Structure 1
């Protein structure tokens, strides 16, 4: 077998391979003899047909199989001998020109992995957010938990923000009712943006039994295309108004949060632990994002198009499954690959950089580090030991914690070399809340 390796571009290579027909013919003969032992040929008992008759019936298929396997094994041998790091899948083609009478000639075009040269991190600024878990943060979390357990009490007072209002309404455009423009016993909470501003403004200040007629202009980009950009006249009648009543922070409230004895201070301690754990997780996530971006910024890299294409396809399929899980019909939705390309390129680049960095700097997680991650996961469950046993019951389950622990090592390695700039974040900023 003769081989010729050609550099097509920075990452693309083409290998021309020639395999003697004598080698291929010999393998075809061997396989035909095996086939002949059991071949069923009309006019002959199974396995008794002459070899030339068997060749007439099975020869083409056997030869095709041999050629396909020859192409694959020959390419594998070349990759091993030439120490080529193939990215993606090769494209096999017959060699152009007059076919050789002595050998089977084909070419394989493929990409190789790029050489990674990590840039200098010494002058790279990496932002490291920091945040404290104050008593105010714990109190805000308790308020959120109270709102999740809110009760409503009917009132004769006028409706205001925060109230749950039940209404009947009828909308018309040019005195004609339209689809979706009417409802009875429709409930919503004022001030939460569930309805268009004009609708909420009309309900605000009304008492049970009161009605109001008002105009409502639908936005040009309204999801209902039949009414988008049009003005409708609505009549609204308030059926009931209910005030939100938050539960008191007492023993009963503590019991609803799983504190069996109703100890309020114990409840607050557990909430503080959970908030601290969540704050730590979010801070780690933000630092990791900044570290990964820093690695991308200082490490220019040529990306194999085959790997990017594979990642695009994976993201498309992942998005389709996500939409399907939400009950959407993906067969009626376009998924243009180009909208996934940028994210695919980022993921491929990070994968290549991290793989090289982890190997070069021996940053792969130790068993002790993996156990630490698992213990952290388990701490939020009532029976942590059961969670730990579940992970170690199947080695494949350790892949996730091992990956996270390895990422922690990468983050620590980068932060030890880059210019770290701490940035204080408020609890609301970190948790993505507003002050309303």
Structure 2
């Protein structure tokens, strides 16, 4: 057997494997003899058919199986001996002129395309600098949050006539064309000039306006309609009022405090304000951590400066998902895929170089955190702890074990990022909510 490597570029190559009869024939002969002992052929007792007859019937398929087995083992072993890290899987090179005649050929030539990155080192020390972001909750956000809570938990009424800030339920339709939708319109989210047309109106009253009176984004934010719903909308419109909904602000009393934080968790207005601020800060602390880690990943990716074999990876993705994706799909998704692949290579290298491993206990705790967050958002957080082990087991056993592997990878990434933040130079930077929003928009 002869194996050669032909590098076409810094990250793509071909592996050529030449097999002679001596490489495969002994294994084929042994397989034929073993098969002859078991196979049933008409006219012969089981296991008594001549080897020559077995070879005539099954010889080609046995030859193909054995050569494929030899190729797989040889290719894997050869790749393991190399200094580079292969990406994806080797792709067989199929040429029309190299059609195999399995019955007559004795020697066989095979070629595979591979994509790879060379082994790399990424020192993690104080020469590497990154920013640790801390979002600061200010009084303005606390006041806005409390105001929203008071509006959300206030008493709903259905008055006879519309006032500023009401929600107006009804039918909006075009004077010409078939545009017609039933909506709940939030008057606080349209222009003051348009909202004034609704003031004082009541049930079954009709408000006339023009599509241009609704500014960009207000169709979705105020009317609850999508861009697709209104993409060709223009000209005169009418709104027939079917109902008016108004929420009075909730009073700052014990009943309100209990609705937000549970019975007797806070007793006074001062305690309530402090609790709101604490809750907001806790939430933004998590966002600060996530943002810091994402920016740190970008820093590490830039520092590693890995050059991926894009052409090879795109071809591999297309062939590996044959029938499921198109070339356009691969082109559209490749930037996100390549970012994740580079981070995975970096994370694995840091873990290998520094003996960082996620254990089973880490996976369990990571899964519990995920489930707690999901239940918390549904308001059931405190009621599911007694069933936590069941939820964790069900999740980790799902998706044929892939959920477990995903959580294992996630837990290891967490450990890698924590290790990096301990070792490098982290410069702390406080951000206001507005500063944070500006960073996200960049």
The TM-score, its normalising length taken from structure 1, stands at 0.73
Distance 1:384 1:313, change over 3 A: farther
Distance 1:400 1:348, change over 3 A: closer
Unaligned runs of 5+ in 1: 318-329
Q: Report the Cα distance in structure 2 between the residues aligned to 1:238 and 1:80, rounded to whole angstroms.
A: 72
- Map of 1:112-131 to 2, 5 A cutoff? 112-118=116-122, 126-131=130-135
Q: Structure 2 residue aligned with 1:290, among 287, 290, 295?
A: 295
Q: Structure 2 residue aligned with 1:155, among 155, 159, 171?
A: 159
Q: 87-96 or 379-388, which moves further after superposition?
A: 379-388
CA drift of 1:384 comes to: 9.5
Q: Structure 1 residue aligned with 2:198, among 204, 208, 232?
A: 204
Are residues 1:57 and 2:57 paired?
A: yes
2:263 aligns to what? Answer: 260
- Map of 1:180-329 to 2, 5 A cutoff? 180-181=179-180, 183=182, 186-192=183-189, 200-201=194-195, 203-209=197-203, 210-217=205-212, 223-224=228-229, 228=232, 230-231=234-235, 233-261=236-264, 263-265=266-268, 270-305=275-310, 308-309=313-314
Q: Report the Cα distance in structure 2 between the residues aligned to 1:223 and 1:63, rounded to whole angstroms.
A: 59
Question: 1 or 2, which has the higher helix percentage?
Answer: 2
1:179 aligns to what? Answer: 178
2:219 aligns to what? Answer: none
2:221 aligns to what? Answer: none
Distance 1:168 1:358, change over 3 A: closer
CA drift of 1:30 comes to: 1.4
Are residues 1:400 and 2:415 paired?
A: no
Unaligned runs of 5+ in 2: 217-225, 397-403
Task: Report the RMSD for the aligned CA atoms in angstroms.
Answer: 4.5
CA drift of 1:68 comes to: 0.9
| Number of residue equivalences | 402
Are residues 1:78 and 2:78 paired?
A: yes
CA drift of 1:71 comes to: 1.0
CA drift of 1:66 comes to: 1.0
The TM-score, its normalising length taken from structure 2, stands at 0.72
1:353 aligns to what? Answer: 346
CA drift of 1:145 comes to: 3.1
Q: SS of the residue aligned with 1:275?
A: helix
Q: SS of the residue aligned with 1:191?
A: helix
Residues 204-246 of structure 1: CA deviation (Å, up to 9, x unaligned)? 3242154343443599996358x71642x33333344332212
Q: Report the Cα distance in structure 2 between the residues aligned to 1:139 and 1:79, rounded to whole angstroms.
A: 62
Q: SS of the residue aligned with 2:348?
A: helix
Alignment check: 8 A CA contact 2:133 2:431 kept: yes
